[in-house]
Amino acid sequence: MFFKTPALDAYLLSLINQQWKNPFFDALMPVLSNPFILYALLVPLLVWTWRKLGKRQIILVLVLLAGVGIADLGTNVVKKTIHRVRPLNALPLVHYQEDGHWAQRPADFVPTKERGTSYPSAHAANTMCIALLAMIFWPGLKKWPLLLPLLVGYSRVYLGKHYPLDVAAGWLFGVAAAAISWLLWTYVVEPLLPSPGKRD
C-beta of residue 153 within 8 angstroms of C-beta of residue 103: no
Banded pLDDT at 172 (limits 50, 70, 90): very high
> Looking at residue 197, what is its pLDDT?
57
**Who has greater pLDDT, 55 or 63?**
63
Banded pLDDT at 196 (limits 50, 70, 90): low
pLDDT digits (tens, 9 = 90+) for 83-126: 999 999 999 999 999 888 999 999 999 999 999 999 999 999 99
pTM: 0.91
Q: Does the pLDDT value for residue 141 go beyond 50?
A: yes
Domain boundaries, the chain: 7-96+113-192
Q: Does the pLDDT value for residue 44 go beyond 80?
A: no
Alpha helices in 83-196 (DSSP H): 122-137, 147-158, 164-184
Mean pLDDT of 11-25: 97
pLDDT digits (tens, 9 = 90+) for 142-155: 999 999 999 999 99
Mean pLDDT of 17-31: 97
pLDDT, averaged across the chain: 91
> Looking at residue 200, what is its pLDDT?
46
Q: Nearest 5 degrees, angle CA 2-CA 8-CA 14? A: 95
What angle separates helix 55-82 from helix 122-137, to the nearest 10 degrees?
150
Continuous segment of H or E residues that includes residue 103: strand 101-104
> Looking at residue 98, what is its pLDDT?
86
pLDDT digits (tens, 9 = 90+) for 50-62: 776 677 778 888 8
Q: Looking at residue 142, what DSSP letter applies?
A: T
Q: Is 199 helix (H, G, I), strand (E, B) or coil?
A: coil
Banded pLDDT at 40 (limits 50, 70, 90): confident
What's at 185, amino acid-wise?
W
DSSP sequence for 12-50: HHHIIIIIT--HHHHHHHHHHT-HHHHHHHHHHHHHHHH
Banded pLDDT at 35 (limits 50, 70, 90): confident
